[in-house]
Each structure stands twice: as C-alpha cells, then as structure tokens.
Amino acid sequence: MPTLVSKSLRDYRRPLLGWTVGISAFFALYLAYYPTIQSNPDLYGDVALTKFPGAMRDLMGGLEGGFTSGSGFLQTLVYQLFGPLLFIMCAAVIGNRAIAQPEESGTLELVLTLPIDRRRLVLERFAALALALLGVAAVTFLVVLGLTTAVDMGVPADRILASHVGVFLLALFFGTLSLTAGAVTGRRGVALAVVGVVAVAGYVVETMGKNVGGVSWLRWISPFHYYLDGRPLQLGFPAWDYLVLAGATVALVLIAMPAFDRRDVGV
C-alpha cells in the first residue's frame, strides 16, 4: 500500500471508528424496533400512511411498501434518507481532511515538501477516502444483514448488498466532491457548503421531481437519481445507474488533480 494512503488511513482512524459505531448504533436502534411496527398494522399500515401530506411522502420516498413490510421499513428508515444522510456526512468530513483541512491548518505545506507529485497526492488521498468509506460500508452492511435476519424482515441478502453498494457509491461521490472542492479552493468551509447544497438540492429534486413537472428534468443530474431510481432493495443491482455514479466520481478526481496542481497552496 502506498505510504501516503496508509498514513491517511491512520489519520482517519478515530473519526472512522466514531462514524462506524454511530451509524451501526443508529441502524441497530431502528431495526430493533421493527417487530413493534409489524405488530401494529392499524397504526403503521398503508391506510395510516395515506394521512401523511403528499410532500412529506415524496421526501420519504413515497413510503412504498409501508412500514409494516420488511422491505418498506428498511427502505424508508435505512436506505431512503437517514442512512444516506449519515454516510454523506461521514464522507464529507473525511473528504475535507484530504486537502482543505490540512491546508488551513498549515500541515499540507509540509507534505508538499516531500518528493511527491501533487496529482499523485490527490490520487492517493482519494484512494484512502475510498478505502475508509469501504470499511464503514462493510461493517454497517454486516450490522444491517445480521439485524434484518434476527428480526425476520424477510429481505434477501443480495438486495441488502445491492442497496449498501449504492449507499457506498453515493457517499464516495460526495466525499470526492468535498475533496475536489477543497483541492480547487483550499477552504474546508467552502467544501462542506458545496456538499451540503448539492446533497439537499439533489435529494429534493429527485424525490419531489417525480410529481412536479417543472423540476422533473433536473432528476437526471441529481446523484440521488442514480442511487434511488433503480430501486436496488426491490429489484437488485441497477448496474448502469451505479456505473454513472462511479463515472461521476472519477470525473471529480480528474478535475481535482489538475486544479490542485496549478494552485498556490497557502495558509
């Protein structure tokens, strides 16, 4: 493993441990509650969910399948909003630590005194980001798989894997966006703001755009479209959608490398 990748992973170990434990605990808390939901269909069934305002239903993914079905509960509370939100927050923080945060703290200049090409630095920091997020995704996948089996949700393991791969690719995209914004501007506040705006706008456009004609065309440029529209929990791996997400991530890396290479680094 390249030295800069291994060093970056060592630097990330504490926040990664915190995020892994936090996300796992969140999933465990909500999935453990599923038997209670399933045993109260009058309170949480399809008829009850029709009382939700239309806009809220859209933002929650339409509440397809209801809370009482295993796939519906898992989709709504783990893979629709809260799971991606936590993963994106984790990815944004780690991506920010690649360039923007060390530049503002004055430590990046020390790294650049080493005999390492700037483009290689960006590439290896991206590799460390990808490996870090992969580790978080692997652990939380095992947590979700174990809990869904324990509470008998009846969701096949391959569908959970397909959804978790999608969460990983979505988080990697936003983590790379944070890294790229940091490489272009050198400011961690700007990088986090860019991630926040793109994430919120992308989610709203994808969910609301299904029923609002004026913004429906914007769904095609939302990263959430390529994560949610293929319905991995119901249909399995949406290979082409995931390839688009991966391709967009690669494009961001290709933007970050020359941008950082040409910019003056300062504190």
- Specify the residue for token string 């793109």: 198
**More confidently predicted of 113 and 32:** 32
> Which pLDDT score, from 0 to 100, does residue 243 have?
97
In the chain, how many domains are there? 1
Q: Please report whether residue 77 resides in a domain.
A: yes
Q: Please report whether residue 187 resides in a domain.
A: yes
Phi, psi of 120 (to 5 degrees): -65, -35
Q: Please report whether residue 165 resides in a domain.
A: yes
At how many degrees (to 10) do helices 239-262 and 157-185 cross? Answer: 20
Residue type, 80: Q
Distance separating the N- and C-terminal Cα atoms of the chain: 30
- Specify the residue for token string 């949406």: 238
Q: Please report whether residue 257 resides in a domain.
A: yes
Q: Give the range of the structural domain holding residue 228, as residue numbers without chain letter.
A: 3-262
> Which pLDDT score, from 0 to 100, does residue 219 have?
85
Q: Please report whether residue 141 resides in a domain.
A: yes
pLDDT digits (tens, 9 = 90+) for 218-253: 888 999 999 988 889 888 899 999 999 999 999 999
Q: How confident is the model at residue 38 (pLDDT cuts 50, 70, 90)?
A: confident
Residue 122 has pLDDT above 70, yes or no: yes
> Which pLDDT score, from 0 to 100, does residue 45 have?
55
pLDDT digits (tens, 9 = 90+) for 153-200: 888 999 999 999 999 999 999 999 999 999 999 888 999 999 999 999
Dihedral over Cα of 204, 205, 211, 213: its sign: positive
> Which pLDDT score, from 0 to 100, does residue 3 have?
79
Residue 53 has pLDDT above 80, yes or no: no
HEC secondary structure over the chain: CCHHHHHHHHHHHHHHHHHHHHHHHHHHHHHCCHHHHHCCHHHHCHHHHCCCCHHHHHHCHHHCCCCCCHHHHHHHHHHHCHHHHHHHHHHHHHHHCCCHHHHHHCCHHHHHCCCCCHHHHHHHHHHHHHHHHHHHHHHHHHHHHHHHHHCCCCCCHHHHHHHHHHHHHHHHHHHHHHHHHHHHHCCHHHHHHHHHHHHHHHHHHHHHCCCCHHHHHHHHHCCCHHHHCCCHHHHCCCHHHHHHHHHHHHHHHHHHHHHHHHCCCCC
pLDDT digits (tens, 9 = 90+) for 65-121: 566 677 888 888 889 888 999 999 999 999 999 898 888 887 887 777 777 888 999
> Which pLDDT score, from 0 to 100, does residue 55 have?
54
Spatial distance between the Cα atoms of 175 and 98, rounded to a whole number of angstroms: 10
Q: Please report whether residue 267 resides in a domain.
A: no
Q: Is 52 exposed, middle or buried (0-12, 13-18, 19+ CB in 10 A)?
A: middle
Residue 266 has pLDDT above 70, yes or no: no
pTM over 0.85, yes/no:
yes
Largest CA distance in the chain: 66
> Which pLDDT score, from 0 to 100, does residue 11 have?
86
Q: CB count, 10 Å around CB of 110?
A: 9
Residue 49 has pLDDT above 80, yes or no: no
Mean pLDDT value across residues 23-43: 81
Rounded to the nearest 5 degrees, what angle is found at the Cα of 235, between the Cα atoms of 230 and 239?
50
